[in-house]
C-alpha cells in the first residue's frame, strides 16, 4: 500500500491491507489483533502504530510511504538493504550490487521452474 500520509481512513486501510479495523482491534477473518491506545482517531488510522503492532514493514522515501504485508512468522524482510550479491553480466564479467549503493534500482529475477 502506498501512502502520502501516515494517517488514513479506516476504509482505505482495509482496502489496501485486508485488515478491517473494528472496536476489538485489527481483524482479518477470525484473527484479531488488539490495537494500542491512540491507533485510532475517529475514522482514521495511525498507520505507523498499526503497522508496528501487525508486524508490517513501513518504509519512507521523500514524504511517501510504502506499507508491506503483516508478517507474524518472520518471513518479511528485516530491512530494505539488499544482501551482498555478485552477479555475472551478459559479457561474463562479475558485477557487485554493492556498487549501486546509494542509488535506486530494480532487481528482476526469473526462474524457469
Q: Strands 2-3, 7-9: parallel, antiparallel or unpaired by DSSP?
A: unpaired
Quick one: pLDDT at residue 81?
Answer: 67
Average pLDDT over residues 86-112: 85
The percent of residues in the chain predicted with pLDDT above 90, rounded, is 33
What is the C-alpha to C-alpha distance for residues 100 and 104, in angstroms, rounded to an integer?
Answer: 8
pLDDT at 55 over 90: no
Is pLDDT at 5 greater than 90 in this prediction? yes
- State pLDDT tens for residues 78-88: 566 667 788 88
Residue whose C-alpha cell reads 489483533 in the numeric block: 33
DSSP state of 80: S
Q: Where are the domains of the chain?
A: 2-67
Q: Quick one: pLDDT band at residue 95, thresholds 50, 70, 90? A: very high
**Stretch 39-65: mean pLDDT, rounded?**
89
Stretch 10-36: mean pLDDT:
89
Amino acid at each position: 500500500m502506498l501512502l502520502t500520509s501516515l494517517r488514513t481512513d479506516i476504509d482505505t486501510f482495509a482496502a489496501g491491507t485486508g485488515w478491517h479495523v473494528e472496536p476489538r482491534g485489527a481483524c482479518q477473518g477470525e484473527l484479531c489483533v488488539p490495537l494500542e491506545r491512540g491507533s485510532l482517531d475517529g475514522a482514521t488510522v495511525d498507520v505507523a502504530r498499526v503497522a508496528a503492532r501487525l508486524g508490517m514493514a513501513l518504509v519512507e522515501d521523500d514524504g511517501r510511504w510504502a506499507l508491506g504485508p503483516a508478517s507474524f512468522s518472520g518471513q518479511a524482510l528485516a530491512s530494505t538493504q539488499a544482501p551482498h550479491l555478485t552477479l555475472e553480466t551478459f559479457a561474463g564479467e562479475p558485477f557487485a550490487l554493492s556498487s549501486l549503493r546509494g542509488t535506486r534500482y530494480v532487481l528482476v529475477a526469473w526462474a524457469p521452474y
